[in-house]
Structure 1
Amino acid sequence: MAAPMTAFSPDKLHSDRERWICIYPAYINSKKTLAEGRRVPKEKCIENPTYQEIRDVLSAAGMKVGVENKLYSRERSKEMLYRGRLRVQLKDDSGAPLNPDFPTRESVMLHVCSMIPKLKSRQGKPSAEQSGPSKTSQPSTSSKKKGKGRR
């Protein structure tokens, strides 16, 4: 098991988990406002990402990723769906980026935003606009109303 987290120390190396960047799903959630913790422009964000999707994308990009069972402090809901924080190693011990494509925290988040819609788990889901109105309009036309009813 990994060593417990401690307070920041400049003596720590970039390879120590304490120095890895943190990413919460709320940072890239299009449903959130800036005040609720979104950190990426709304046009580039995705709807309700999960930590599993972010982990899959970053692992596929070859980055070192760690998952922690943490809740974002600005998150109102305490449900398990919103839990999860990712730690990502950006730099090696010399301070140089591990991957030149991702030198900053923002570049990592933008990459995640562009790749999550391409995941197979996101491809199979029908959107609510396509399936919603057709199902709700059918029962309303076939039901018979008897007037005002009993009071």
Structure 2
Amino acid sequence: MDGDVPNIKKWVVFYPVYINSKKTIAEGRRICLSKACENPTCAEIGDCCSHFKLPFAIEIDKAYPRDFMQIGRVRVLLKKEDGTLYNPAISSRKQLMLRVAELVPRHPGRAKKQEPASTSTAGSSKSGKGGKKKR
């Protein structure tokens, strides 16, 4: 750790689950389904934070408490030492979640695998294809 980096224990914790449209509120989603995005990764969230000029740290040794298979989280610093905001547009963790969720679908890493929104009106149930993702 660098000497000039403040104590990241005080930074806002951001789990990808918070903005995952595949999760329910009970499973840990914290924003409304219409604004959430599909399976965001820590790297994508980190890139969004750097886009907003917010200092962030990705912690890959951490897991989401409600679902310990969800590995990784991002720590984000919203305010400077003197209490002023790094980005005036983002003043709370809720705003951070909403702004990041807006950006993740446009992330360059997922732009190529983005298929057009399906027009089927049938309620989408869980698809059978789950399983572990290779890293």
TM-score relative to the length of structure 1: 0.69
Find the partner of 1:91 among 65, 79, 84: 79
Tell me the equivalent position of 1:57.
Answer: 48
| Alpha-carbon shift at residue 16 of structure 1 (Å) | 2.3
67, 70, 84: which is aligned to 1:75? 67
Identity level (%)? 39
Q: What corresponds to 1:19 in structure 2?
A: 10
| Higher gyration radius (CA) | 1
Name the CA shift for 1:20/1:126 in 2 (closer, same or farther; >3 Å): closer
Q: What is the correspondence of 1:1-151 to structure 2 with a 5 Å cutoff? A: 1=1, 15-69=6-60, 70-75=62-67, 78=69, 82-127=70-115
Q: Over aligned residues, Cα RMSD in angstroms?
A: 2.1
User: Going by fraction, where is strand more abundant, 1 or 2?
Assistant: 2
Segments of 5+ residues of structure 1 without an aligned counterpart are 4-14, 131-151
Give the 4+ runs in structure 1 shifted more than 2 A.
Answer: 126-130
More helix by share: 1
Contact persistence 2:52–2:87 (CA under 8 A): no
Where 1:53 maps in the other structure, the secondary structure is helix
Change (3 A) 1:50 1:98: same
Tell me which amino acid in the other structure corresponds to 1:93. E
- Report the Cα distance in structure 2 between the residues aligned to 1:114 and 1:22, rounded to whole angstroms: 18
One-letter identity of the residue aligned with 1:72: Y
2:35–2:102: 8 Å Cα contact kept in structure 1? yes
Q: Which runs of 5+ in 2 are unaligned?
A: 119-135
Q: Per the alignment, in what secondary structure is the counterpart of residue 86 of structure 1?
A: strand
